[in-house]
Structure 1
Amino acid sequence: MKIKSQRDFWSGLMFVVVGVVFAVGATNYSLGSSARPGPGYFPLMLSVIMAILGGIVLFKSLTIETEGGDPIGAVAWRPLLVIVAAIALFGFALPRLGMVITIPILIVVTSFAGDEFHWKGVLLSAIVLTVGSWAIFILGLKLVIPMWPSFFGA
Structure 2
Amino acid sequence: MKIKSQRDFWSGLMFVAIGLGFAWGATTYSFGSSARPGPGYFPFGLGILMAVLGGVVLFKAMTIESEGGDPVGAFAWKPLSFIVGTVVVFGWTLPHLGMVVALPILVIVAALAGDEFHWGEAIANAVLLTLGCWLIFIVGLKLTIPLWPAFIG
Which bracket does the TM-score occupy, shorter chain normalised?
over 0.9
TM-score, structure 2 normalization: 0.96
| Corresponding position of 2:99 | 99
Residue identity opposite 1:75 in structure 2: F
Q: Deviations over 1:104-140 (max 9, x none)?
A: 0000000010000111111111011111111222222
Q: Deviations over 1:10-44 (max 9, x none)?
A: 00000000000010101111112222221112211
Shift of 1:142: 2.2
Q: Deviations over 1:47-90 (max 9, x none)?
A: 11111110000010000000011000010000000000000000
- Is the deviation greater in 90-99 or in 119-128? 119-128
- Is the deviation greater in 46-55 or in 130-139? 130-139
Segments of 5+ residues of structure 2 without an aligned counterpart are none
TM-score, structure 1 normalization: 0.96
**2:27 pairs with 1:27:** yes
Segments of 5+ residues of structure 1 without an aligned counterpart are none
**2:30 pairs with 1:59:** no
| Corresponding position of 1:84 | 84
Relative to 1, partners in 2 of residues 1:152 and 1:107: Cα closer, same or farther, differing over 3 Å? same
Residue identity opposite 1:93 in structure 2: T
> How far apart, CA to CA, are the structure 1 residues paired with 2:41 and 2:15?
19
Runs of 4+ in structure 1 over 3 Å off = none
| Corresponding position of 1:111 | 111
Across the aligned residues of Structure 1 and Structure 2, the Cα RMSD in angstroms comes to: 0.9
- Sequence identity of aligned pairs in percent? 65
Residue identity opposite 1:100 in structure 2: V
**Matched residue count:** 153
Residue identity opposite 2:33 in structure 1: S
| Corresponding position of 1:43 | 43
Residue identity opposite 2:144 in structure 1: V
> How far apart, CA to CA, are the structure 2 residues paired with 1:41 and 1:144?
26
**Counterpart secondary structure, 1:152:** coil
| Corresponding position of 2:148 | 148
Residue identity opposite 1:39 in structure 2: P
